[in-house]
Amino acid sequence: MLPLWDTQKHRRTAVATGLIIVACLVVFAYEVVLLVRDAAAFEAWLTRHALVPSRMVAGWNDGAQWQSVATSMFLHGSVPHVLGNCWFLWVFGRSVEERLGFAGFTLFYFATGAAAAGAQVLAAPGSSVPMVGASGAISGVLGAYFVFFPRAWVVALVPWIVPILPIPAALFLLVWFFIQAQAGVGSLLAGTAAAGGVAWWAHAGGFVAGAGVAMLLPRSVRR
């Protein structure tokens, strides 16, 4: 399912959401330029700034490893990867930012992104595959949206039912979370959690962290 737009009214410009999207696109453009110019330099640069679970576990007291938690959120592996993440952030992030404000949303974004990274490291501590992408932090935004706007609707592209279908946001997000959690459990049972690919546990962990933080906020913020 691909969300197209939500039914929430946006009274303020989502500055933080827009800046994060621009940053992800600019960094990805730099990745492409670096890859075209020097593939070896690109691989070294990507590995240095990506989050590598085994490296994180071995060097947990190294400041550079903690920096990679933040830098990895702006790296992406392909055009669909970066565009998909940016689109999900745009659809759901604007409403969450309006509720939290610029500073609150920015802090929330990085905090839940770090929690998502921690979930993936715990799931595959021996993995040497670089982890990149903003999807963990965006999953935290989805979790907050689930708590803040349980009665909202999302208009989504659902190819196997009808081209465009309005869906309750809570149902859309629950189905999305179930898919991530199911795939994460499957990767653990199959022993493929450390083999690379989609960081399912980062998605599930980020969502749980986002929903949990949102539920702990004052009622005036949640409603």
Distances (CA, A) of 22 to 26, 31, 186: 6, 14, 34
The shares of helix, strand and coil residues in the chain, as percent rounded to the nearest 5, are 70, 10, 20
Each of the 223 residues of the chain gets a pLDDT tens digit; together they read 789 999 888 888 899 999 999 999 999 999 999 999 999 999 999 989 999 988 988 877 777 788 999 999 999 989 999 999 999 999 999 999 999 999 999 999 999 999 999 998 998 888 888 899 999 999 999 999 999 998 999 999 887 666 788 999 999 999 999 988 888 787 666 655 555 567 788 999 999 999 999 999 887 766 6
What is the C-alpha separation between 20 and 212, in angstroms, rounded?
22
The full set of domains in the chain, from first to last, is 2-222 (1.20.1540.10)
Query: Which amino acid is present at 147?
Result: V
Q: In this predicted structure, what is the pLDDT of residue 223?
A: 64
According to DSSP, the residues that pair with 162 across neighbouring strands are 158
Question: How many other C-beta atoms are found inside a 10 Å radius of the C-beta of residue 98?
Answer: 19
Q: In this predicted structure, what is the pLDDT of residue 98?
A: 94
